[in-house]
A = this chain, B = another copy of it.
Amino acid sequence: MIKAGIIGATGYAGGELVRILLGHKNVEIKWYGSKSYIEKAYASVYQNMFQLVQDTCLDDNLEELAKQVDVIFTATPQGYLASVLSEKILNQVKIVDLSADYRIKDVSVYETWYQIEHKSPQFIEEAVYGLCEMNREQVKSARLVANPGCYTTCSILTAYPLVKEGIIDADTLIIDAKSGTSGAGRGAKVPNLFCEVNENIKAYGVTSHRHTPEIEEQLGYAAKKEIKINFTPHLTPMNRGILVTEYASLKTVSSYEEVKALYDKYYANERFIRVLEKDVCPETKWVEGSNYVDINFKIDQRTGRIIMMGALDNLVKGAAGQAVQNMNLMFGEQESEGLLLVPMFP
């Protein structure tokens, strides 16, 4: 049995980790960390867990936790893990970090976009960017995995084969993303109240959203050059789901079949990526509750652009599901263990 601890267990991503790990054959959760709910029964914070989880919430204590478990998931605010991580801890335990602390290799880029000083840049190099479909082998041997952001997972996977193969001009890439509200977290803020979100849609973080450099870095590796893109997130009145609509100029005239073949080259054997049938547009509802990313595209001969679309559940493949997928790889488990969740409809 893998013993797991969660720091930030009462956020939405933390709650989803619990839901998924409860269905994992070889994992036992030993620590429900939550600074806000210390000593409260976990099931009183998440009533869905009534009779399923008997534990009470504990404080954040990474050092102590490192002694007791095999893997720690940190679903914490930016800067937390960087401020407490040490070589000693990494020698004791494997860590899957759901925050952004170790996602970006260039520390100055991190500090510019996140407006925080990075407290342990010495671990950045070692950290593996945990997009399993791209970095599977490195994840397997990692001590520290930087679990990708929800928008980034969807944005990158949707464009990756075409950027990698060089058939689109990566600098023309425009990503228009729509997210369910769970992405905004469980903090009590007026803009996230039901009456403010319901019957409403808006863009936010225009030109300045922190997932931008993460997308640029990863797709830059694929493009083998530095790239600059536009990324615009939107808040959508639904609980879960991210849809990205991505626009790019095709370098050469391509047919549907040619492009489809490129997607298949990378994804045909990927269990959690489904390239849909011709002309079927991804919808967030079709992946809800599951670890799937649904992807498709459409070529516009009139404008010479391709429109790529991707959909995932931001709490599963965009957070907790991907974290478990990484953990599976790190511990030699079946990659899909605990993740064979059939999407729920409606």
Contacts and interface: CB of A to CB of B under 8 A. Distances in A.
Interface of A: 12, 15, 19, 22-23, 44, 46-52, 171, 174, 176, 178, 180-182, 186, 188-190, 192-204, 206-207, 228-230, 232, 234, 236-241, 243, 245, 247, 274, 276-277, 280-290, 294, 298-300, 302-303, 305, 307, 309, 311, 340, 342-346
B189 A188 contact: yes
24 contacts: A44-B277, A46-B345, A47-B294, A48-B285, A48-B287, A52-B342, A178-B236, A181-B195, A188-B188, A188-B189, A188-B193, A199-B240, A199-B285, A199-B346, A200-B285, A202-B283, A206-B298, A206-B309, A207-B302, A207-B307, A230-B247, A234-B243, A247-B247, A289-B344
A240 B344 CA distance: 11
Contacts of A285: 48, 196, 199-200
Contacts of A280: 47
A243 B286 contact: no
5 nearest A-B pairs in the assembled complex, by CB-CB distance: A48-B343, A200-B285, A195-B346, A202-B283, A194-B197
Given A178-B178, A182-B346, A230-B305, A282 B199 contact: no
Contacts of A299: 207
Contacts of A52: 342
Contacts of A180: 199
Contacts of A195: 12, 181-182, 186, 192, 239, 346
A238 B237 contact: yes
A48 B237 contact: no
B245 A232 contact: yes
Contacts of A342: 19, 22-23, 48-49, 52
Contacts of A189: 188
A52 to B, nearest CB: 6
Nearest to A307: B206
Nearest to A271: B51
Nearest to A273: B51
Given A50-B277, A207-B300, A234-B243, 11 more contacts: A46-B345, A48-B290, A48-B342, A178-B234, A188-B188, A194-B194, A199-B241, A200-B283, A207-B307, A230-B300, A236-B236
A193 B180 CA distance: 13
Contacts of A240: 199, 346
A204 B290 CA distance: 23
Nearest to A229: B303
A238 B198 contact: yes
